[in-house]
Structure 1
Amino acid sequence: MRGIVEKLDLDGMGIVKVENREFHVPFTAPGDEVEVKKWRRKKRRLIVTDFEVVEESDIRVPPECPYFGRCGGCALQHIPYSEQLRLKSEKLSKYLDMEVEVLPSPRIYGHRNRIDVVLSTGGIGFRRRGTWWDAVDIEWCPVFGESSKKVLKSLREFMGDFKPSLYNIRENSGFLRYIVIREGKFMGELMVNLVTSEGQLPEEFPDYFDYATSIYWSVNRTKSDVSYGDIERFWGSEFIRERLDDVVYLIHPNSFFQTNSYGAVNLVKKVAELVEGERILDLYSGVGTFGIYLAKRGFSVEGVEINPFAVEMARKNADLNGVDAVFRVGEDRDVENLATYDTIVLDPPRAGLHPKLVRKILKEQPKTVVYVSCNPATLGGNLKKLLEKYEVETALGLDMFPHTLHVEAILKLNLKV
């Protein structure tokens, strides 16, 4: 069956209508002529798994990555960047029920400061699109940058010399599981974290990465396919550093940090522009990304975060930057006296705000809410509730994830008069 891609859906797949059926085809562009061969049904949609682009659209651009179309990481490298931004604006506008502009990432290649590389019997690279068991073998990742080539070359040299076993996810066997590469883009510091099953790591391992600032060995003692574990040992520095504008942050293997350093500079600056008053509550404060940036600008900041390790890192970051921000362990739904803060900054996980917190905000009514979200769907759901008492002053998107359909959103909500 053949058809023409009419447009892209909100997951970045091309929509082809053939014989009164609508097919969703990955890695295609509007105007492509496509021959559909195989498909599967997923969530009431027909997702094409085998196809051929018979004639390419004029809109296509050459992808930078040689693994594009197989790797599950990027979906849109073949789409002009201006069109990527338009798609993200359309997605945000749909979920928020208002027109939302998306600001571009300062860089669209070499921007990621973290990649989690699968070390498996299926390959050394990233999960193949549509699978949880297979991997696409890679030599480097253009979205991360040149240092990924150096690290993966060193890893293969180590493997060639010592022949460690690779993980088989189906059988839960094998020693090497992941290598996580993190980089302070503005500081030039590099971290390598090898994640293994239980076993013995040759003592020569760190010698292969002597150019790295920080080298870690972590052990995942579970069957879960995750790229972190218990810290077994580290060599070099305990942390690497990243600078966002004039604030320096410490990065540990088990701490979260915005994955696009260049976009993160724009993000913290925009949040600082939107907050009002003097007393700020930084809820879901993490390692203090927003709170410390705001404290450095003279705001009185209290951060609340459920993860004790993140709170510990936030306190270290506050000390490093010489600010008096206070960070404590706590749950979002248990925060009290919201009205005593001039602005509350919210940056929840993808699940969005706890319903109890939404009710508390509506009841206690702090004057200004700045809501940062990486999930437009849950943001839209929370917003519908908050609009009972609040109105939107500012709504915009930031492209923190070029070549994907993910988008970061920032809303400034003011209490209705």
Structure 2
Amino acid sequence: MRLEVKQRIPLKIKRMGINGEGIGFYQKTLVFVPGALKGEEVYCQITAVKRNFVEARLLKVNKASKFRVEPACEIYQACGGCQIMHLRYDKQLDFKADLLKQALKKFQPSGYEDYPILETIGMDQPSHYRAKLQFQTRSFKGKVHAGLYAENSHRLIPIQDCLVQDQTTQRIINVVADLLTKHRIPIYDERKIQGIRTVMVRRARQTGQVQLIFVTSCQVNLSKLIQDLVETFPEIVTVALNWNKQKSSDIYGERTDILWGQEAISEAVLDFEFSLSPRAFYQLNPQQTEVLYGEAVKALDLRGDEHLIDAYCGVGTIGFAFARKVQSLRGMDIIPEAIEDAKKNAARMGLTNTHYEAGKAEEIIPKWYQEGYRADALVVDPPRTGLDDKLLETILDFRPEKMVYVSCNVSTLARDLVALSRAYKVEYIQSVDMFPHTARTEAVVKLTRRDSV
């Protein structure tokens, strides 16, 4: 019997998938149901029929999981920014360890069945943890709203009280939306492609300093808005404007100008301080970043005489956690502004054993080796796309003695371990919950070089 769109079916949920959805089988057909939990019996409606599976909308929970909770967020269903807020938090942590197991089973790197996967490290208070806010703006009937797009759409969901967002950044974006309305600033429209399209607000946990980026597709005058804003929020120290005239989904364009205030904000993690320019990458959850970097230091298990390469170094943050524990530290990143920040941060901390270059790791590392530099240890913290294929080849060519892989995507991590496991033994994987109530987790992987390949 072939399932059809709009058909309603009963379903028993066998497990949860990598996006937090419930998964069951109906007459041997795989069914994905967002909002359903493992062990539940539900009634759902088919929304899409694919080649090997179908997608369905949850209509009713006939038998609820004992771990189901009522989400505290009023727009939880509409927003889609969090996927598993309806699951009790301790069970969210179990789910995130299971995410790693699912990904490893799918890609099957060598010996994956025996990889030790440690219990996920969670938060005591898993709310208001996101220190960086990145909301889209749209104008409805003359009033500007800021929020996120509903899942798989360009329909804006206005957000004024996000339970996972830092409360100061949320208050600021609420005022920004009002000021954009008050000063009649042009707002982006997908037909006209003119105006403010995105606002980024980031707050440093350690210093409380705040920076903003307005992303625009055309010339705008923000002088009066900025004056009102900084009078209301004295913690704002930087306001920048980024130019993005493209019709693509990329949030930022290449050019960023400082409109008001200083070039960067100051932040701190573990025992070091650093500066963040507006476009520089830093983890969204500063509290758990302390935990994550601490686990990375533990996993690399340095003696003190190593030469360490920090690929994807950004402004240098994760590398600085190792800097005083190694003989030398070298890093690279494709964003020149981040490298400049890394150099300034290292100088400010009095680190004389560091060296940073802008460029691709797969090009810079071989150049360094040709110049005579030899790395004993490597730390990689790539974007969600994982390691570049050429970088993987480079790592396997030079094979540093030990390595730590910090991952924000279990799928690309498992994929990359297929190659890395040919030369390295996976000692363990430590999951760290950087994103409570979402179907994402961060992981620290301890790898040691095999004696023979």
TM-score w.r.t. the length of structure 1 is: 0.91
Amino acid at match of 1:240: I
- Structure 2 residue 422 is the aligned partner of structure 1 residue 388: yes
CA distance in 2 between partners of 1:202 and 1:341 (Å): 48
Alignment partner, residue 224 of structure 1: 248
Alignment partner, residue 197 of structure 1: 217
Retained in 2: the 8 A contact 1:107–1:262? Answer: no
CA distance in 1 between partners of 2:373 and 2:98 (Å): 34
Aligned counterparts, 1:6-405, within 5 A: 6-18=14-26, 20-41=28-49, 44-49=52-57, 51-53=59-61, 56-96=64-104, 97=112, 98-101=115-118, 102-105=120-123, 107-121=125-139, 124-131=146-153, 133-169=154-190, 171-210=191-230, 211=233, 212-229=236-253, 230-275=255-300, 276-277=302-303, 278-297=306-325, 299-324=327-352, 325-334=354-363, 335-336=365-366, 337=369, 340-405=374-439
CA distance in 1 between partners of 2:282 and 2:130 (Å): 11
CA distance in 1 between partners of 2:28 and 2:346 (Å): 59
CA distance in 2 between partners of 1:143 and 1:159 (Å): 24
Q: Structure 1 residues 391, 54: CA separation in 2 closer, same or farther (over 3 Å shift)?
A: closer
Shift in Å at residue 5 of structure 1?
Answer: 3.4
Shift in Å at residue 139 of structure 1?
Answer: 0.8
Shift in Å at residue 266 of structure 1?
Answer: 1.2
Q: Structure 1 residues 320, 119: CA separation in 2 closer, same or farther (over 3 Å shift)?
A: same
Shift in Å at residue 31 of structure 1?
Answer: 4.8
Give per-residue Cα distances to partners, 1:253-285, cap 9 Å, x unaligned. 211111111111112222222323421111121
What SS does structure 1 have at the residue aligned with 2:379? strand
What SS does structure 2 have at the residue aligned with 1:397? strand
Alignment partner, residue 440 of structure 2: 406
CA distance in 1 between partners of 2:373 and 2:343 (Å): 25
What SS does structure 1 have at the residue aligned with 2:187? coil
Q: Structure 2 stretches of 5 or more lacking a match?
A: 1-7, 105-111
CA distance in 2 between partners of 1:173 and 1:416 (Å): 54
Shift in Å at residue 42 of structure 1?
Answer: 5.2
CA distance in 2 between partners of 1:382 and 1:28 (Å): 30
Shift in Å at residue 294 of structure 1?
Answer: 1.3
CA distance in 2 between partners of 1:202 and 1:381 (Å): 45
Retained in 1: the 8 A contact 2:146–2:177? Answer: no
What SS does structure 2 have at the residue aligned with 1:39? strand
Q: Structure 1 residues 40, 234: CA separation in 2 closer, same or farther (over 3 Å shift)?
A: same
Amino acid at match of 1:127: Y
Retained in 1: the 8 A contact 2:186–2:220? Answer: no
Q: Structure 1 residues 42, 332: CA separation in 2 closer, same or farther (over 3 Å shift)?
A: farther
Retained in 2: the 8 A contact 1:249–1:317? Answer: yes
> Deviating runs (4+, > 6 A) in structure 1?
none
The percent of aligned pairs where both chains have the same amino acid is 27
Amino acid at match of 1:146: Q
CA distance in 2 between partners of 1:370 and 1:393 (Å): 10
Q: Structure 1 residues 380, 203: CA separation in 2 closer, same or farther (over 3 Å shift)?
A: same
Q: Structure 1 residues 43, 227: CA separation in 2 closer, same or farther (over 3 Å shift)?
A: farther
Q: Structure 1 residues 164, 304: CA separation in 2 closer, same or farther (over 3 Å shift)?
A: closer
What SS does structure 1 have at the residue aligned with 2:210? strand
Report how many aligned residue pairs link the two structures. Answer: 415
Give per-residue Cα distances to partners, 1:129-165, cap 9 Å, x unaligned. 221x111111132211211332133123213322334
CA RMSD of aligned residues (A): 2.4
Retained in 1: the 8 A contact 2:169–2:202? Answer: no
CA distance in 1 between partners of 2:101 and 2:28 (Å): 28
Shift in Å at residue 9 of structure 1?
Answer: 1.7
Which moves more between the two structures, 73-82 or 273-282? Answer: 273-282
